Structure 1
Amino acid sequence: MTSVARRYAKDLRTTPAPDALRAPVVLMVSGGADSTALLLLACTSTLDIADGRGEAHIARERLHVLHVNHGLRGLDAEEDEEFVRGLAERWGVPVTVRSVDVPALADARPGESFEQVAREVRYAEAAALADRLCEEWGTPRSAARIVTAHTADDRAETFFMNAVRGTGARGLSSIPRVRGRIVRPLLELRHRDLCDLLRMHGIVWREDETNQDVRYLRNHVRHRLLPVAAEENPRVVEAVASTVEIVSDEDAYLTSVAMRAYREVTRTSEEGLRVLDANRLAAMDVAIARRVARSALLDVAPTMRLEAQHVNALLELVAAGEGSFTAPLGVDVSVQYGTLRIKGRDAEKAFAGWLEVPGALDLGDGRSLVASLVPVAPADNAPALARAHGLEHEGLSVMLDAEACGVAPEGGRLWVDAPKAGDVLCPLGMHGQSKRVSELLAEARVPARERSRVPMVRTGPTGAAVWVVGVRADERARVTPGTRAVALLTLVDERGR
């Protein structure tokens, strides 16, 4: 979020940390007019790279040029590369060139456009270069800056592109000035102004012929849509820039609210898996719920090409209280018994779900939990049976009081997921004393790398734990002389281990 003081102050500066003044500044230079002007300005003038100094000179030794050859346009691309090398040498700035076969990558990633893949490649290469330079120079990664040459024209084009495709506030915010380490100091300048600057200095630049191909949406917007809009308002680019600033500020505020809400409704958070409280999500204001849904989907599959229809489909399930669908990249989305479960296709090790009693739950790795409900006759010595059963099955099967587990007298369901930080159990045999689950796993000599694979059986997503599978049951769910029904839980491992 941006305060009024920060947004409207004419010259708001802070004292940067010492590391911020010596960390690397990676300039992304393609050889076109805008990026050539960026290199010129970085070497000869002042730029605001969001390091707390406002408009200021950047020490020449901090600069490093990155050029990415996308493996397209053949000889022209090679000439672009040589041009950038020459520019960097002229200004005495080190240059790194990366060649990536983007067409091959795009072919291997169906559903993603060439432009999207190329953009991801460029930023990934920039991040890797910034990290390497920080390591060599002994500066924190967060202090590095990756600087792009996006202009007001780019911002307006992106605004219209996203509007044409259909988008929300995030898309209408277009290109942000700062995102993490990425900084765009030329957003208030027009492309034509940068071209005039280069001509004034007698500097030529490279022209990419594909920029004239209106089959690409950006070029269609640039050469056909924006000129029509300019007939109505010659200052349409500036008007869009003003709109974008407003939408961006409001989007940042709503995002901060949504992230708090997201944390509050999240019940399980593992790589490739999110489980949310569907009832609380259904009760949210729809503007916040959409953002929570979007964040959860992208946390599970960051490269998903997410569209409004996918967010709406998820929220329709939440409103209905049950159902499922498959989102892009094979992400499974389902709602059942008040929980929303989002699981990625490759999240084989992630598990969380309801165990019906009686019934079974597949843990997704060759193991499953099986539950049954067993009545206890008055003449039976239920505690003795439970002890003998536990010894016989070496902790991989357990008898618990069904009523204490909330599944008596006719059955019900238990929640199964992985241990969470701060989980506490009252271990059976310790007479009500509590102990951290992490300590129990350590005492049981479960290797640290395998602890996230130990199932925890709970009365609900936020309920009490009743069994750390294979380790210990909870004292509060023990079988007593008064037990009238037993929940029999068994871990079945078909992997032969």
Structure 2
Amino acid sequence: MVLMVSGGADSTALLVLAATSELDIDDGRGVARIARERLHVLHVNHQLRGLDAQEDEEFVRELSERFGIPCDVVSVDVRALAGQADGNVENTGREVRYRAANRLANKLSEEFGTPRSAARILTAHTANDRAETFFMNAIRGSGPSGLSSIPRRRNRIVRPLLDRTHEELCDLLRMRGIVWREDDTNRDTRYLRSYVRHEVMPVVERRNPRVVSSLTATCDILGDEDSYMTQAATRTFRDLVRRSSDGMVALDAARLGACDVAIARRVVRMAILGICPGARIEARHVAQVLSLVARGSGSASIPMGCDARVEYGLLFLRTAAPAGSVSPAWLEVPGRLELGDGRAVVARLAQVPAGSKAPEVARAHSREWGKASVMLDAASCAVDPVHGGRLWVDAPAPGDVLCPLGMHGQSKKLSDLLNEARIPAAERGAVPVLRTSPTGRVVWVAGVRPDEGARCTPDTRTVVELTLLERQDPRP
């Protein structure tokens, strides 16, 4: 049980209540006493306030010792870290605190031999914090998730003081004769939270003195409704996925466009965050993607290097492929697709010579080119013998299955096939896999094996010749 204690009134009250009273930590017991041996204090010194920060650290150490609770202190130069990222000191400080808390919770779970899922990280957020966050998100511009403000629990993070006000906690400490630390930066209205706390909340409270408790109820309602909508959107997202791999997901664009807009927005957000968890998505980015879906074609760029594109009835969302990985793309038949690492896949259409049998021609071609080139039946590859067509090229994806040539229709997981080919797991993302469409069957694992269903037969008249050209291959 990790208590995050800064030394301010709220976190000091959290420590006192956890050590001497009853709290609901969402472990199924309701409001109950917490065994003292389960408690462990964490204080993060952000090194932002010089001597004051050092005194905060000493205060937390002494208070923890007074109640017989172990205390860990982590010191981090948050300003320097923020300078290496986006410059936002508040966001960096929050990330540092939760990262340290999770590390400590995992460490304690290992020491006590308890499952990590049983660990709890307790924060001292109050009803005031929740009301302030509501207004902060409203000022920034937010949907239901942001307006539901601070949740009572997110995974192992629990906020047991969310129904109490800051004033109530200060009164509790005064009655017990316990002092706390004051952070002067909390009065600096250049920070949005301080601005809301000192400029916005007093004005609102003059109109409605009970606004904090009113917003607590509002946030609970919004949170419940947001949870329901998230579940509905998750089910829809799963239904719409037609293809996914590292850094790419393809959704059924027509069905997405037919969804209620409230669900569609959430599905797009889920899809983007699924391939790019660090993306900071704004409403305008989601609207951009949905406008592409409505038009049925087009492309747009969204944060963190993500790309959205609608073509052939699918919405593709991609991040930049890792170095050495195959970026999903169409290969025109006939045509050539550059893989971006000096390699290329080339497709040709050819007629079987009069008097020749396609299987024999294909076998002779295989003897000449080995695994680097194959001849397949054009019709079985969904390629028009006269007008050509296209094949989808991407990297292996979890769940891929094919019937390798020579196995007489027996299916095999692509991962097993690559394992038998002794291709290291770290290099498998660079293996081009050719399919009839983004959601179609595999016709060739380039350089490894074609699919039995695409092989040439005695009735084959037009073949697709597919060749994987390695770097500096002289063949045009």
Q: TM-score range by the shorter chain?
A: over 0.9
Residues 338-487 of structure 1 aligned to structure 2 (within 5 Å): 338-345=313-320, 347-348=322-323, 349=325, 351-408=327-384, 409-487=386-464
Partner of 2:66: 90
Are 2:168 and 1:193 aligned?
A: yes
The residue type paired with residue 261 of structure 1 is: T
Cα deviation code 1:345-382 (max 9, x no counterpart): 46333632322223333444443322233344544443
Residues 110-189 of structure 1 aligned to structure 2 (within 5 Å): 110=86, 113-189=88-164
Per the TM alignment, residue 70 of structure 1 is displaced from its structure 2 partner at its CA by 1.5
Q: 2:460 & 2:440 partners in 1: Cα distance?
A: 21
More deviation, 455-464/26-35: 455-464
More deviation, 365-374/184-193: 365-374
The residue type paired with residue 278 of structure 1 is: A
Per the TM alignment, residue 290 of structure 1 is displaced from its structure 2 partner at its CA by 0.9
Per the TM alignment, residue 101 of structure 1 is displaced from its structure 2 partner at its CA by 1.7
Unaligned runs of 5+ in 1: 1-24
Q: Which residue of the other structure, out of 279, 297, 300, is the alignment partner of 2:272? A: 297
The residue type paired with residue 64 of structure 2 is: A
Q: 1:260 & 1:49 partners in 2: Cα distance?
A: 29
Are 2:184 and 1:209 aligned?
A: yes
Q: 1:390 & 1:315 partners in 2: Cα distance?
A: 46
Cα deviation code 1:33-73 (max 9, x no counterpart): 10000000000001111111001111111111111112212
Residues 19-34 of structure 1 aligned to structure 2 (within 5 Å): 25-34=1-10
Residues 59-70 of structure 1 aligned to structure 2 (within 5 Å): 59-70=35-46
Per the TM alignment, residue 265 of structure 1 is displaced from its structure 2 partner at its CA by 2.2
Partner of 1:326: 301
Cα deviation code 1:105-164 (max 9, x no counterpart): 222223x63212211111111111111111122111111000100000111111111111
Q: 1:378 & 1:173 partners in 2: Cα distance?
A: 72
Are 2:251 and 1:255 aligned?
A: no
CA pair 306-398 structure 1, distance change in 2 beyond 3 A:
same
Partner of 2:26: 50
Per the TM alignment, residue 495 of structure 1 is displaced from its structure 2 partner at its CA by 8.1
More deviation, 396-405/297-306: 297-306
Partner of 1:103: 79
Q: Say if 1:329 and 1:345, in contact at 8 Å, map to a contact too.
A: no
Partner of 1:75: 51
More deviation, 324-333/172-181: 324-333
The residue type paired with residue 436 of structure 1 is: K
Partner of 1:19: none
More deviation, 412-421/185-194: 412-421
Cα deviation code 1:240-283 (max 9, x no counterpart): 11111111101101101111222222244444333333333222
Per the TM alignment, residue 432 of structure 1 is displaced from its structure 2 partner at its CA by 2.9
Q: 2:472 & 2:187 partners in 1: Cα distance?
A: 58
Q: Say if 1:273 and 1:350, in contact at 8 Å, map to a contact too.
A: no
The residue type paired with residue 196 of structure 1 is: D
CA pair 363-65 structure 1, distance change in 2 beyond 3 A:
farther
CA pair 346-95 structure 1, distance change in 2 beyond 3 A:
farther
Partner of 1:18: none
Q: Say if 2:326 and 2:432, in contact at 8 Å, map to a contact too.
A: no
The residue type paired with residue 262 of structure 2 is: A
Unaligned runs of 5+ in 2: none
Q: Secondary structure at the match of 1:47?
A: strand
Once superposed, what is the RMSD of the aligned Cα atoms? Answer: 2.0
Partner of 1:17: none
Q: Secondary structure at the match of 1:189?
A: coil
Partner of 2:263: 288
CA pair 177-440 structure 1, distance change in 2 beyond 3 A:
same
CA pair 451-78 structure 1, distance change in 2 beyond 3 A:
same
The residue type paired with residue 85 of structure 2 is: R
Per the TM alignment, residue 413 of structure 1 is displaced from its structure 2 partner at its CA by 1.8
Cα deviation code 1:384-422 (max 9, x no counterpart): 222122222221211111211112131222222333444
Q: 2:278 & 2:416 partners in 1: Cα distance?
A: 37
Q: Say if 1:275 and 1:352, in contact at 8 Å, map to a contact too.
A: no
Q: Say if 2:127 and 2:213, in contact at 8 Å, map to a contact too.
A: yes
Q: 1:350 & 1:81 partners in 2: Cα distance?
A: 50
Q: Say if 2:432 and 2:446, in contact at 8 Å, map to a contact too.
A: yes
Q: Say if 2:348 and 2:465, in contact at 8 Å, map to a contact too.
A: yes
Partner of 1:491: 468
Q: Secondary structure at the match of 2:124?
A: coil
Residues 312-323 of structure 1 aligned to structure 2 (within 5 Å): 312-323=287-298
More deviation, 254-263/142-151: 254-263
Q: 1:45 & 1:415 partners in 2: Cα distance?
A: 63
Q: 1:82 & 1:391 partners in 2: Cα distance?
A: 77
Q: 1:251 & 1:176 partners in 2: Cα distance?
A: 11
Q: Say if 1:395 and 1:472, in contact at 8 Å, map to a contact too.
A: yes
CA pair 367-146 structure 1, distance change in 2 beyond 3 A:
farther
Q: Say if 1:273 and 1:347, in contact at 8 Å, map to a contact too.
A: no
More deviation, 421-430/49-58: 421-430
CA pair 105-271 structure 1, distance change in 2 beyond 3 A:
farther
Partner of 1:16: none
The two structures have a TM-score, normalised by structure 2, of 0.93
Q: 1:190 & 1:438 partners in 2: Cα distance?
A: 55
